[in-house]
Amino acid sequence: MIINASSYEQITLLARAYGIVCEERYDLGDAQSPVILSDTTDPTGEVANTLASQGVPVLYLAYDPPVNLSPSISILKGGEVRWEQIYAWIQSSNQTQEQKQHIAHLNVKRTVGFFGIQPGVGAGSIARALSFYSAMNGKKTLYIDMDIRFPKAPYLIGYKDSRYTLEGLLEALQSKERPNMEPYFLHKSKMGQVSKQLAEHFKKLPDLLYVLSPSADLGFEYFPTLGTDLNEITDYMKKIVEGAKPFFENIIFSMGSDPDEPLHLAILRACDQRVFVTDTSPSTVRLFPQRIKLLENTGVPTDGAQVILNKLPEKMDIDVFEEFLQRSVTYTVPYDPQMITEIHKLNLLGGKSFESAIGEIAEGLLGLEKEAKRREAGSKKTGRVSFLSQFSLFREKTV
């Protein structure tokens, strides 16, 4: 279904002739279906911008469209607009709406927060690799980089858009707006003109991987001031989580390691699952119980939280670590001598030992079958190795 609020009756007649349910009306307060507007009915673009901010697909027809139209609005301008162009937009928008409805009814919705006991233990590396692995295995995945001091996503993943950043989304939430969150979930197909090297890098990234990240060049002192009301900041994080859930099956948060940072505490409170990451260094192992106690005292649920012991040397007794940690270790990640080399190549899955461990974690934490098992099962069925086909649930608009 579409709503024609453009004043061009021909659009309504043609849409119905093509079997499209088309309602012609101008009261758009409760509009959810795609809307067609024009400079005749909305000369300033204010209505179009309002609808776009609420996530409604909008097509704007104009000889000379306003310059303030939202980037998420599709525009057809000039005096030679053809029905074929409008029809292509209708098909694309209806398809996108159907996909959103389908995704909204997916039963599996995981939001997982990874917290490193101190900097350098590898919580961010594990979170990014798990996001990458999840997307490779057919799960539409959002990686949210909440390390506001030293964000890694702009460098290791490379998705950048100055209009749609983490700080921009938080500012919109603080202003009590109801922003359309979808544009903030950056995807490689939306990056426009990029360098040849970056374009080659993007080709290697899974089609189902999306990113929400701070700006790479934003100093910590310029990040939006969220205050110290932990409940209010938690509410912002919950709004981000709930705004992302209709689009994604797995939402994975990475953050800094400061247990006194309200933003980190709010993320851990808003997530459905929490994973605490430590390595085997004496300082981290000793700090672990204290850090967990600090988190508990600020209202972070720790019952049911999982523990990953990273950079584990060969032939080390896990029981000794569990005694110091005062918690059971859920997963172990062996020390990977190829990790630095692979990360330098922007390979987020690291070397073979790290990738294998990520597969084990994905299997247990996200319910994903290990890649090796999938290939083996595929080869048995078809007589040859079956590689995963990557696809994008949100295609580019065709008009």
Looking at the structure, do residues 10 and 113 belong to the same domain, yes or no? no
* Contact between residue 152 and residue 145 where contact means Cβ atoms under 8 Å apart: yes
Distance CA 269, CA 258 (A): 15
Q: Could you give the residue ranges of the DSSP H alpha helices within the chain?
A: 9-17, 46-53, 83-104, 123-136, 153-156, 166-174, 196-204, 230-244, 262-270, 282-297, 318-325, 339-344, 352-365, 371-382
399 is a domain residue: no
Which residues span the domain enclosing 72? 2-103
Confidence tier at 160 by pLDDT (50, 70, 90): confident
Domain boundary, last residue among 86, 103, 120: 103
Q: How far is CA 171 from CA 168, 225, 233, 283, 349, in A?
A: 5, 9, 12, 37, 33
Looking at the structure, do residues 188 and 277 belong to the same domain, yes or no? yes
397 is a domain residue: no
Distance CA 113, CA 239 (A): 15
Domain boundary, last residue among 68, 103, 138: 103
Confidence tier at 106 by pLDDT (50, 70, 90): low
Q: Cβ contacts of residue 165 below 8 Å, gap of 6+?
A: 184, 213, 214, 215, 218
For residue 59, the domain's CATH number is 3.40.50.2300
For residue 347, which of 41, 111, 85, 129 has the smallest C-alpha distance? Answer: 129
Q: Cβ contacts of residue 302 below 8 Å, gap of 6+?
A: 274, 292, 295, 296
Domain boundary, last residue among 78, 103, 128: 103
- What is the per-residue pLDDT across 316-331, written as a single tens digit (0 to 9) for each? 888 889 999 999 999 9
Q: How many domains, in total, are found in the chain?
A: 2
Confidence tier at 83 by pLDDT (50, 70, 90): very high
Mean per-residue pLDDT of the chain: 84
* Contact between residue 23 and residue 11 where contact means Cβ atoms under 8 Å apart: no
Q: What average pLDDT does range 300-319 have in this prediction?
A: 90
Looking at the structure, do residues 168 and 217 belong to the same domain, yes or no? yes
For residue 222, the domain's CATH number is 3.40.50.300
Looking at the structure, do residues 244 and 257 belong to the same domain, yes or no? yes
* Residue 274, token pair as written in the block: 């929490």
Predicted local distance difference test score (pLDDT) of residue 79:
75
**pLDDT higher at 70 or 383:** 70
Distance CA 223, CA 304 (A): 32
- pLDDT exceeds cutoff 50 at 396: no
Looking at the structure, do residues 318 and 344 belong to the same domain, yes or no? yes
Looking at the structure, do residues 32 and 173 belong to the same domain, yes or no? no
Predicted local distance difference test score (pLDDT) of residue 382:
42
41 is a domain residue: yes
- What is the per-residue pLDDT across 207-243, written as a single tens digit (0 to 9) for each? 999 999 998 776 556 677 888 899 999 999 999 998 8
312 is a domain residue: yes
Predicted local distance difference test score (pLDDT) of residue 390:
31
> Sheet containing 306-312: which strands, arranged edge to edge?
209-212, 141-146, 250-255, 110-116, 273-278, 306-312, 331-334
Q: What average pLDDT does range 81-91 have in this prediction?
A: 91
396 is a domain residue: no
Tokens 């172990």 correspond to 332
Q: What average pLDDT does range 357-386 have in this prediction?
A: 65
Q: How far is CA 375 from CA 137, 254, 353, 355, 389, in A?
A: 11, 29, 18, 15, 12
Looking at the structure, do residues 41 and 141 belong to the same domain, yes or no? no
Q: What average pLDDT does range 189-218 have in this prediction?
A: 84
Looking at the structure, do residues 223 and 160 belong to the same domain, yes or no? yes
388 is a domain residue: no
